[in-house]
């Protein structure tokens, strides 16, 4: 009996490894189709809800920028490998640690979603294959993403699920469960796909999903027509420059 138990445990580990390998291969293909190495040594700029955002990556160094006006002041937030800084009218100002974390998370979130699926290969990301799903006549791989505490940021407990098109490897739907600000769950449907200098971008319809549910099950709720539209995630004036 002990030998059988050991064998079953080994088979379970092999099965799990195979599923994770499949998930990794699918994500790799999605990133390749969306731009691949065009994300590296690149500067990307866009407008989102009246604010300018910038992304720059050279080697292992990155710089995220948010620029906007607050009354008569010009505020420039910068997030790099070294941390967060804020400038007001060209002068760096002190920011309490709690607010620096809040601003950093906000900038990182916008950049993360704008550049999907690029960030899905970050070192802190764990991938698992949940099977397939047919949505509106198209077949999708369901990939779940969780994060390690180390390197996973303040929101490392968040859970994401991505529906990746079986034929062209685009992320057409995604869902995520978060715990900040009382927690909740969102489901997003991609639209207005376009390529700028070989890099894929998409806008999203942002739906409110049942807080008590799981991201992996939100596709059925979406298909039932019971999700409430909250907002539109729309990127404007996108520019991509190779450095």
pLDDT in tens, 162-187: 999 999 999 999 999 998 777 899 99
pLDDT in tens, 190-233: 999 999 999 999 999 999 998 888 999 999 999 999 999 999 99
* pLDDT reading at 152 higher than 80: no
Residues 187 and 211: their CA atoms lie apart, in Å, by: 11
Q: Residue 59: its pLDDT value, please?
A: 82
**pLDDT category of residue 240 using cuts at 50, 70 and 90:** very high
Which residue in this structure is represented by tokens 């088979």? 11
pLDDT in tens, 97-147: 999 999 999 999 999 999 999 999 988 899 999 999 999 999 999 999 998
* pLDDT reading at 161 higher than 70: yes
* Spatial contact of 145 and 113, defined as CB atoms under 8 Å apart: no
Q: Residue 149: its pLDDT value, please?
A: 67
Q: Residue 150: its pLDDT value, please?
A: 67
* Spatial contact of 95 and 102, defined as CB atoms under 8 Å apart: no
Phi-psi region of 153 (alpha: psi -120 to 50; beta: other; left: phi over 0): left
The pTM assigned to this predicted structure is 0.87
Which residue in this structure is represented by tokens 């520019």? 239
* pLDDT reading at 151 higher than 80: no
SS3 183: coil
Which domains, ranges and CATH numbers included, belong to the chain? 2-242 (2.50.20)
- From residue 53, alpha-carbon distances to 25, 46, 79, 128 in Å are 30, 5, 11, 31
Burial 186-223 (b: 16+ CB within 10 A, else e): bbbbbeeeeeeeebbbbbbbbbebeeeeebbebbebbe
pLDDT in tens, 30-78: 999 999 999 999 999 999 999 999 999 988 899 999 999 988 899 999 9
């Amino acid at each position: 009996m002990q030998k059988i138990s050991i064998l079953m445990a080994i088979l379970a580990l092999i099965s799990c490894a195979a599923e994770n390998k499949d998930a990794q291969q699918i994500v790799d293909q999605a990133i390749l189709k969306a731009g691949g190495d065009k994300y590296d040594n690149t500067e990307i700029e866009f407008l989102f809800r009246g604010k300018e955002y910038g992304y720059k990556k050279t080697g292992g160094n990155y710089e995220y920028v948010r620029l906007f006006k607050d009354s008569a002041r010009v505020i420039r937030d910068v997030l790099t490998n070294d941390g967060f800084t804020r400038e007001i009218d060209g002068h760096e100002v002190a920011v309490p640690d709690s607010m620096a974390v809040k601003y950093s998370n906000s900038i990182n979130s916008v950049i993360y979603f704008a550049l999907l699926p690029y960030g899905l290969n970050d070192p802190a990301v764990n991938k698992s294959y949940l099977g397939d799903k047919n949505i509106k006549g198209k077949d999708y791989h369901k990939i779940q993403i969780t994060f390690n505490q180390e390197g996973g940021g303040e929101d490392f407990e968040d859970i994401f699920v991505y529906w990746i098109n079986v034929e062209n490897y685009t992320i057409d739907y995604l869902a995520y469960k978060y715990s900040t600000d009382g927690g909740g769950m969102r489901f997003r449907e991609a639209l207005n796909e376009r390529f700028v200098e070989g890099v894929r971008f998409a806008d999203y319809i942002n739906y409110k999903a049942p807080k008590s549910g799981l991201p992996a099950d939100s596709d059925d709720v979406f298909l039932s027509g019971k999700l409430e539209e909250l907002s539109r995630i729309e990127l404007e004036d996108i520019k991509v420059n190779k450095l």
